[in-house]
Amino acid sequence: MQKKSILFLTELKKRMKISLLFVALSLFSIACNQKKSTTADKENVEEIELVYHVEGMTCDHCEKSIQKGVNELNGISLVEANHEDSTAHVVYNPAETDAKEIIAAIEKRGYHVVE
Ligand SMILES: [Cu+2]
């Protein structure tokens, strides 16, 4: 009788260990999947490249001011302003920012974006 209950207890412990392992494994795989899907999302989004016509730039400082302002936004991979041809070249991730925000950042610095 005693032997039987001990056997039962060991069996129970074994089962608990297995189920704990199972829970740990599934939590781990959930965590991994989440990590994978977020990086995949970022990689799957195609970046957008835009060239804005910007009025009001007169020198290098104007270019730097625009670049600084746009770079403060999330998802900007490139911003190049040129006062000689009045352009701002921007490459951005549409999952993180949009044209509206970029234009607002340029105008906040005192320049006018011609759309
Ligand atoms: Cu200037």
Cα–chain center distance at 102? 16
Asked whether the CA dihedral 14, 15, 19, 25 is positive or negative, the reply is positive
Distance 12 CA to ligand 1 centre (A): 77
State the pTM of this model.
Answer: 0.63
Q: pLDDT-derived band of residue 9, with 50, 70 and 90 as boundaries?
A: low
Distance 74 CA to ligand 1 centre (A): 25
Amino acid at residue number 38? T
For the stretch 66-97, pLDDT in tens is 999 999 999 999 999 999 999 999 999 999 99
Reported as a single tens digit per residue, the pLDDT across 19-74 is 655 555 454 554 544 444 444 455 678 999 999 999 999 999 999 999 999 999 99
Structure tokens that stand for 76 in this block: 């900007």
What is the 62 CA–ligand 1 centroid distance (Å)?
A: 4
User: Structural domain tally of the chain?
Assistant: 2
What is the 65 CA–ligand 1 centroid distance (Å)?
Answer: 8
Instruction: Compute, in angstroms, the gap from residue 36 CA to the centroid of ligand 1.
Output: 44
Q: Quote the pLDDT of residue 10.
A: 63
Are residues 53 and 34 located together in one domain of the fold?
no
Q: Are residues 38 and 74 in the same domain?
A: no
Q: Which domain holds residue 21?
A: 1-44
Whether 53 and 100 share a structural domain = yes
Q: In what order do the strands lie in the sheet with 76-82?
A: 76-82, 87-92, 48-55, 112-114
Residues of the chain with pLDDT > 70, as a percent, come to 63
